[in-house]
Every structure is written in C-alpha cells, then in structure tokens.
Amino acid sequence: MALFIYKAYDASGALINGELDALSIKHAKELLQKDKLNPVSLVEQSLLVNKKGFNLFQSDTVTLDDVEFVTAELSLLLQSGVKIDRALAVLARTKAGSSLATLLQTLSNDVRKGQSLSEAMAKHPKIFDSLYINLVTIGESSGNLVAVFAGLAQDLKYRKQLKNKITQAIAYPTVILFVCICSVLFIFNFVVPKLTVMFADAVELPIYTQILLGVSDFIQNYQFHLFFVFLLLVFGFRWMLQQGHFAHKFDNVVLSIPLLNNTVNLIERIRFTSSMSLMLNSDVKLDQALVLSSGSVKNQVIARNLTGMKDKVRKGESITTALKQSGLFPVLFLSLLEVGEESGKMAPIFEEIAERSRTEFSQWTDKMTSLIEPLMILFMGGIVGSVVVIMMMSIVSINDIGI
C-alpha cells in the first residue's frame, strides 16, 4: 500500500485536498471515483520527496498545537456520531501534506486493522504521553471517549498557555541580550579597528585605551572560536540533561536557588494538579492518578517525590499528609486538599488549585517582564555606552599622548 495525495472536485463542485491509501495510482483513482470525487491531481507521497529525503509539503514534527487540535476535533466528531477511524481520516484530509496528516492516517489504518485507538497511539510515545494513553484506554473501556477527549483538549490548552507564558517570560530578555551582543561585536569589529590607526604612533596609551584595543583585537582573532565553544557548550549541556544522573543533579541545584525554587514549584504544581483533576474526573484510582500525574512533572526531583507517595497512600496515609512532604503545596492549598479529602471530592479541589496557580503564574510573568525590561535596557546601555565613552576618552587623549 502507498499513500497518495490528491486534489479532487466533489459532487457539489467544491475542491477537496486529501490523502488515501491505495495499491497503485489506478486503484487510487477507482477509490476516488467510488466516493464520487473527480481527481484533478493525484501524486504518490514518495514522489514529493526530493533526493535528500526532505518532504517539500510536510513539516518535520507534530507539535503540541497539533495534538490539541486533534484532541478537540476528535471530541466533536465522536460526539456527532462519527466512527473513530472515519474521524481520523477526516482530520487527516484537513491537514493534507503535513506530518500530522501522516500520523492521523497511520492511526486510522491501525484502527481499521482491529487495534484500539490507545494501542495505535501507544506506538507514538514522543507525541502521546503515558497520561494521554491511559486516559484514552479508560475512555475506551468505559465507553466515554467523548468526555475524555474533551477533558484532554482542555488540559492541552492549559499546557499550551503555560508554555506560551514561560516563553514570554524569557523571550524579551533573550532578544535584548542578543541585540547587546550584536552591538558590541559590531563596535569591536568595525568601529574600534578604524581608531587603531590614530594610536599607531603613540608612545604610551592610557590603560583603558589599551584594554579597549586589546579586547577588540582578541574578538577579531578569536570570535569564531568563541562561537564554536559556545555551541559546543550548549549542545553538550543539552546532551548531559538527557542523562538521568546529571539531569537529577541539575534539577536539584535549580530547586536550591531561592527565586528559581518558587518559580519551578509553581510551574510543576500547575502541571501536577491539572493532571490530577483530569485523572480523578475520569474515575482513575487515586494511587494510579498520582503515578500518572507525576509523569507530567518535568523536574525529576519533584517527580520522584510525588511518585514515591503512591506507596504511602496505599498504606493508608492521607494524600494531604503525603503531599505536604513534597514541599510543592503551600499551607492554604494543603488545607483545601484536607477539606476535599474529608468530603471525598478531590477533583474539584485539584482543579481549583490549578486555576489559582495559573493566575499566580500569569501575574508573576507580567511582573517579571515589566521589571526585566528596564533592567535589560540599562544593562545593554551600560555595556554599549561604556565602550562608546572609552572610545571618546581615547580620542580626546590623543592630544595628551602627543605631548
């Protein structure tokens, strides 16, 4: 079987883009005609790939936005009575030519072959995490996939908002720092060298002028080496973070830094409580929900502490007492959890904690952005301004040097 990408007119005259599996191009045309579609373009997907293997019509990865889109649309289609395999095929046609379309078509084919949706999704662990797969499994066994997908779509929406907030918090300082570095490089590569001629005959230069010329000379000679070392450090650090032992130590160091400690705890609290609310609303047992929700936590130290609470809860210890030892929840939230545990309604409490934590994080990012903005401008102005002032002082000192 091969995958064909087509453009065709339907019975109403509308142009449709889509994909289908067929044995040959002739077979593909027969399938289109059977669906009362008049093809105007029909190409095997492998022919759209250039000699280097790069697909001109397809992105490389399936993003969080893609997963959220699929989840929300599946909830709507299943609620409308569309079968799972048909719903996946419909979504694949709406995203024709993308990696998401290929994924959806693969899932649709697996379901048509008799696999459950959760089994088909489990083949793609980099796209669908364990929490997602387990909830789909529960939805299939309970016959309540619509509600499960609706809850997952909402959770993914919150995850996307959290990711956007984190990006927003670091984007502006990064841009300012980049502009600052570019300005300094420009000055030392193009401006300062032109001034060097002015000091060629000087017997003795002021110390600040010597430093300025020395730094300029060093940057001109070694800037590419520095850039290479920087890239090496970045990729080396990323590789080390993929090693469990180093990643655990790094996460532990992050938690020992006061300001970062509070921020990381806040972010991980949002992830954990959102997942717990979703799992408990889907009737997952408390100990299992703890394990699965801990998987959504990125910091390995916090995740390990939360996972270890499963045995304590199974032995009869209250979840409030167990969570208190994690250090993830302040006193107010622990009180809310205690009330929820006594009433037997934990899901609404976790949802409330998640919502309050989202609001707190949003306020924190707004505050930090407004604070960092003038600080970064002052930082950039200080560096660039210092270089300019030293240049002017060096020019003014030429007369004194001549004397």
Identify whether 330 is part of a domain. yes
The pLDDT assigned to 51 comes to: 39
Span between the terminal Cα atoms of the chain, in Å: 88
Mark which of 82, 108, 128 sits at the end of a domain.
Answer: 128
Mean pLDDT of 32-43: 81
Mean pLDDT of 364-370: 82
* Residues 167, 121 within the same domain: no
The pLDDT assigned to 403 comes to: 43
* Residues 114, 187 within the same domain: no
- The DSSP result for 333-377, as a single string, is HHHHHHHHHHHT-HHHHHHHHHHHHHHHHHHHHHHHHHHHHHHHH
Mean pLDDT of 87-91: 84
* Residues 186, 327 within the same domain: yes
Closest by alpha carbon to 293, among 350, 340, 357, 220?
350
For residue 128, pLDDT over 60 is answered with yes
| Number of compact structural domains in the chain | 3
Mean pLDDT of 65-86: 87
Rounded-to-integer distance, Cα 373 and Cα 382, Å: 14
Residue 228 binned pLDDT confidence (cut-offs 50, 70, 90): very high
Residue 233 binned pLDDT confidence (cut-offs 50, 70, 90): very high
The pLDDT assigned to 56 comes to: 39
Dihedral in degrees, nearest 10, Cα atoms 313, 318, 320, 325: -60
* Residues 88, 225 within the same domain: no
* Residues 87, 170 within the same domain: no
Closest by alpha carbon to 170, among 22, 353, 373, 21?
373
Give Cα separations from 375 to 369, 371, 372 (angstroms). 10, 7, 5
Rounded-to-integer distance, Cα 271 and Cα 139, Å: 21
Average pLDDT, rounded, for the chain = 81
* Residues 73, 198 within the same domain: no
Rounded-to-integer distance, Cα 297 and Cα 310, Å: 15
Mean pLDDT of 213-225: 88
The pLDDT assigned to 202 comes to: 66
Q: Which tokens sit at 13?
A: 């005259």
* Residues 86, 19 within the same domain: no
Mean pLDDT of 294-300: 83
> Could you list the residue range(s) of the whole structural domain that residue 174 is in?
157-403
* Residues 161, 102 within the same domain: no
Rounded-to-integer distance, Cα 32 and Cα 298, Å: 46
Identify whether 151 is part of a domain. no
* Residues 81, 199 within the same domain: no
For residue 129, pLDDT over 70 is answered with yes
* Residues 347, 293 within the same domain: yes
Among 70-84, 186-200, 344-358, name the one with the lowest average pLDDT. 186-200
Identify whether 140 is part of a domain. no
User: Could you tell me the strand order of the sheet in which 38-44 lies?
Assistant: 15-22, 2-9, 38-44
Identify whether 230 is part of a domain. yes
The pLDDT assigned to 148 comes to: 86
Percent of the chain with pLDDT over 70: 91
**For residues 58 and 204, which has the higher predicted lDDT (pLDDT)?**
204
Identify whether 328 is part of a domain. yes
Residues 6+ apart with CB under 8 A from 191: 391
Identify whether 59 is part of a domain. no
* Residues 204, 323 within the same domain: yes
Identify whether 373 is part of a domain. yes
pTM for this model (two decimals): 0.71
Identify whether 148 is part of a domain. no
Closest by alpha carbon to 105, among 253, 242, 243, 2?
2
* Residues 299, 180 within the same domain: yes
For residue 158, pLDDT over 80 is answered with yes
